[in-house]
Amino acid sequence: AQSVTQPDIHITVSEGASLELRCNYSYGATPYLFWYVQSPGQGLQLLLKYFSGDTLVQGIKGFEAEFKRSQSSFNLRKPSVHWSDAAEYFCAVAGGGNEKLTFGTGTRLTIIP
Amino acid sequence: KAGVTQTPRYLIKTRGQQVTLSCSPISGHRSVSWYQQTPGQGLQFLFEYFSETQRNKGNFPGRFSGRQFSNSRSEMNVSTLELGDSALYLCASSLGPAGAQETQYFGPGTRLLVL
């Protein structure tokens, strides 16, 4: 069965600093990978997705993620965070014919001035 | 284009009651998926409907059911509510059957509190 691990429950970074959120997946074949963001009281918004091809994926709001098959990882990065990036971030995987999204437990991002 | 809408946004029920939640997908979208989000279990898939047929189902008891209408609007029903059903229920829609290459667009959710 497919699974996703987000090892960091909570991360705090200073505004303007760089950010990396970790995501490791377990899946037998090539997975389809997603990052979603959830602001307080809101639904989930898709930041980016990886299906195939270039392993570095660009998303909205200045985010990018890199698929590393050898490490079973799909880490999310941003070179300089803004206060408005404070939210909860979810990594998800799909594939294998089941096709439902399996989410990680999320990483809550706090931005300090 | 309007996004995914869910009604009501907030709901308080007591144990043993039943509840119906509604989801209107983005215009033209034919797939609706439901998820339950709790602090303890995170985001868990409930079921997906496409063209009025349940296409996929998660590991939830039979108290959780759903349906989809010809206009793609979907309802989710939970009978005999338990305290553990308190959660944020999220609905997502996509153009085609939910799958790896279909982007799912989420609504704001319905927050259910069971007392």
| Per-residue model confidence as pLDDT tens digits over B1-11 | 689 999 999 99
Rounded mean pLDDT of B53-68? 94
DSSP A59-112: -GGG-EEEEEGGGTEEEEEESS--GGG-EEEEEEEE-TTT---EE---EEEEEE
Q: A9, A23, A33, A101: which to substitute to probe chain B, counting the most B Cβ within 10 Å?
A: A101
Per-residue pLDDT tens digits for B75-93: 999 999 999 999 999 999 9
pLDDT of residue B40: 84
pLDDT of residue A15: 97
DSSP B59: S
Shortest Cα–Cα distance, A44 to chain B (Å): 5
Shortest Cα–Cα distance, B65 to chain A (Å): 17
The answer to whether B109 and B37 are in contact (CB under 8 A) is: yes
The answer to whether A81 and A69 are in contact (CB under 8 A) is: no
pLDDT band at B100 (very low <50, low <70, confident <90, very high): low
Q: With beta carbons under 8 A apart, name residues in chain A contacting B104.
A: 46, 101
Tokens of A66: 């890199």
Per-residue pLDDT tens digits for A74-111: 999 999 999 999 999 999 988 755 567 889 999 999 99
pLDDT of residue A109: 97
Rounded to the nearest integer, the mean pLDDT of chain B is 93
Q: Per the CB < 8 Å rule, is B105 touching A46?
A: yes
Strand residue runs (E) in chain B: 5-7, 10-13, 19-24, 31-38, 42-50, 53-57, 64-68, 74-78, 87-94, 105-106, 110-114
pLDDT of residue A82: 96
The closest CB to that of B104, out of A90, A101, A105, belongs to A101
